Amino acid sequence: MTKIQIISVFIIGLAIALIAFSGKDYSSYSTFQKASEAERKVKVAVELALEEEIYYEPMEDPNLFSFFAVDENGDKMKVLYAGAKPQDFERSESIVLTGKVNGEVFEASDMLLKCPSKYTDEEIKIKGEQS
């Protein structure tokens, strides 16, 4: 084998090894239950609990947004997020939260909203209806 071939094999091996052994950088979608036990940040796929209060009062604190979310097990938990309330938050179909549980609340460091597509097949806009 030439040096280049050795280097090639080494580099490809390194890439695969790095991916394979960086398990701590990955995690599966968790639940609130599991998040309460976990020490580190986890991702939880949730739905917004629309019947509960969605709180964002910028006059009180522009960096505090809180709401309640339900995970796949049906567990409900209060979520705090240090930022502004995203536009169209109420319409989001599902939310992926990144963060950890502290006592009774889930503290999210990041949120990814999945909003329904603007175009739903069942919806046909009738002229003049939108006034």
Partner 1 sequence: MQEIQYIGEHLLIGQFGHLSVIIGFVFSLLAAYAYFKQVNNKEQSWNKLARISFALHSVMVFVVMALLFYIMIERYYEYNYAFKNVNDDLPFRYIFSAFWADQEGSFLLWMFWHAVLGLIILFQRGKWEAPVLSVLSIVQFFMFSMLMGVYIGFGEFSFKLGSNPFILLRETMNAPIFSNADYLSLIEGNGLNPLLQNYWMTIHPPVTFLGFASLTIPFAFAIAGLWTREHKEFLRYVISWATFSGGILGTGILMGGAWAYEALSFGGYWAWDPVENMSLVPWLMLVAGVHINLIARKTGKSIKSVYAFYVIAFILITYSTFLTRSGILGETSVHAFTTMGLENQMLIMILFFIFGSLWLFRLRKKDFATDKTEDNLSAREFWMFVGALVLAFSALMITLSTSLPVYNKIRAIFQPSFIGSVIDDPVDYYNKYQLWVAVFIGILSGVGQYLRWKESRFEKYLKKFSVSMGISIAGATILTILFGSWMDMHAWQYWVLLFASFYTVSANLDYMIRLSKLNPRAVASSLSHLGFGIMVIGSLASGLNKFHISSNPFAQRGLLSEERLAKNVMLFKNMPMFMSGYKVTYADDYFEGNNRIYDIKFEQLDSMGQPVDSFTLHPTALYNNTITKVAAFNPSTLHTLSKDIFTYIASIPQIEADMEIARQKEDSLEYVALDLMENAPAFFRDTVVVGDSTVIRTYELNLLQVLNEPTHADYVAQENEISFSPRISVFDTYYDSTYIVEPTVTLRGQAVYSYNVHLQDLSLKFKVEEEALKYAFVMEEDLDYKTYEFGKDEVLEINGHTIQFTGFIPNPKSVDYVPEEGDEALWARFLVDNKQEVKPIVCIRGNNFLTYKAIDKGTGLHLKPLRINLSEDGKDAKLLMSIAMEDKAEAMNIPIGVAHAPRTDFVVLESIVFPGINLFWVGSIVMLIGLFIGVWNHRLRKQVS
- Site for partner 1, residues 14 to 43, rule: CB under 8 A: 14-16, 18-19, 22, 25-29, 41-43
Shortest CB 27 distance to partner 1, Å: 6
Task: Map residue 9 onto helix, strand or coil.
Answer: helix
Task: Map residue 51 onto helix, strand or coil.
Answer: coil
**Binder to partner 1 among 33, 52, 64, 75 (CB under 8 A)?**
64
Q: 12 Cβ partners below 8 Å, 6+ apart?
A: none
> What are the Cα distances from residue 10, in Å, to 1, 7, 15, 19, 20?
12, 5, 9, 14, 15
In terms of Cβ atoms closer than 10 Å to its own Cβ (0-12, 13-18, 19+), residue 42 is: buried
Choice between 50 and 84, CB closer to partner 1: 84
Q: Which residues bind partner 1 (CB under 8 A)?
A: 2-4, 7-8, 11-12, 14-16, 18-19, 22, 25-29, 41-43, 45, 56, 58-64, 80, 82-85, 87, 94, 96, 98, 102-103, 107, 109, 112, 114-115, 117-119, 121-122, 124-127, 130-131
